[in-house]
Chains A and B, each alone.
Chain A
Amino acid sequence: AQSVTQLDSQVPVFEEAPVELRCNYSSSVSVYLFWYVQYPNQGLQLLLKYLSGSTLVKGINGFEAEFNKSQTSFHLRKPSVHISDTAEYFCAVSDGDYKLSFGAGTTVTVRA
Chain B
Amino acid sequence: DAGVIQSPRHEVTEMGQEVTLRCKPISGHDYLFWYRQTMMRGLELLIYFNNNVPIDDSGMPEDRFSAKMPNASFSTLKIQPSEPRDSAVYFCASNTGVYNEQFFGPGTRLTVL
- CB within 8 Å of B: which residues of A? 32, 34, 36, 41-46, 49, 51, 90, 94, 96, 98-100, 102-105
Shortest beta-carbon distance, A46 to chain B, in Å?
Answer: 6
Q: Does B106 contact A (CB under 8 A)?
A: yes
Q: A43-B106, A43-B107 are in contact. Are A49 and B101 (CB under 8 A)?
A: yes
Q: Does B113 contact A (CB under 8 A)?
A: no
A-B contact pairs, 10 of them (CB 8 A): A34-B101, A36-B104, A41-B106, A42-B107, A43-B104, A43-B107, A46-B101, A98-B48, A104-B42, A105-B43
Shortest beta-carbon distance, A48 to chain B, in Å?
Answer: 10
Q: A49-B99, A98-B97 are in contact. Are A44 and B42 (CB under 8 A)?
A: no
Against A, the Cβ 8 Å flags (1 = close, 0 = not) of B75-103 are 00000000000000001010001011111
**Residue numbers in A under 8 Å from B97 (CB-CB):** 98
Q: Are B42 and A98 in contact, CB atoms less than 8 angstroms apart?
A: no
A45 and B93 CA atoms in complex are apart in Å by 11
A45 and B103 CA atoms in complex are apart in Å by 7
Q: Are B45 and A44 in contact, CB atoms less than 8 angstroms apart?
A: no
**Residue numbers in A under 8 Å from B105 (CB-CB):** 43
Contact count A vs B, C-beta below 8 Å = 47
What is the chain B residue whose CB lies nearest that of A103? Answer: B42
Q: Are B48 and A43 in contact, CB atoms less than 8 angstroms apart?
A: no
**Residue numbers in A under 8 Å from B106 (CB-CB):** 41-43
Q: Of the candidates A41, A44, A90, A100, which one forms a contact with B100 in the assembled complex, judged by CB atoms under 8 Å apart? A: A100
Mostly, the B contact residues are: strand
A98 and B99 CA atoms in complex are apart in Å by 8
Q: A32-B100, A43-B106 are in contact. Are A90 and B31 (CB under 8 A)?
A: no
**Residue numbers in A under 8 Å from B48 (CB-CB):** 98-99
Q: A43-B104, A43-B105, A43-B107 are in contact. Are A100 and B99 (CB under 8 A)?
A: no
**Residue numbers in B under 8 Å from A51 (CB-CB):** 99
Q: Are B42 and A102 in contact, CB atoms less than 8 angstroms apart?
A: yes
Q: A98-B31, A99-B56 are in contact. Are A45 and B104 (CB under 8 A)?
A: yes
**Residue numbers in B under 8 Å from A49 (CB-CB):** 99, 101
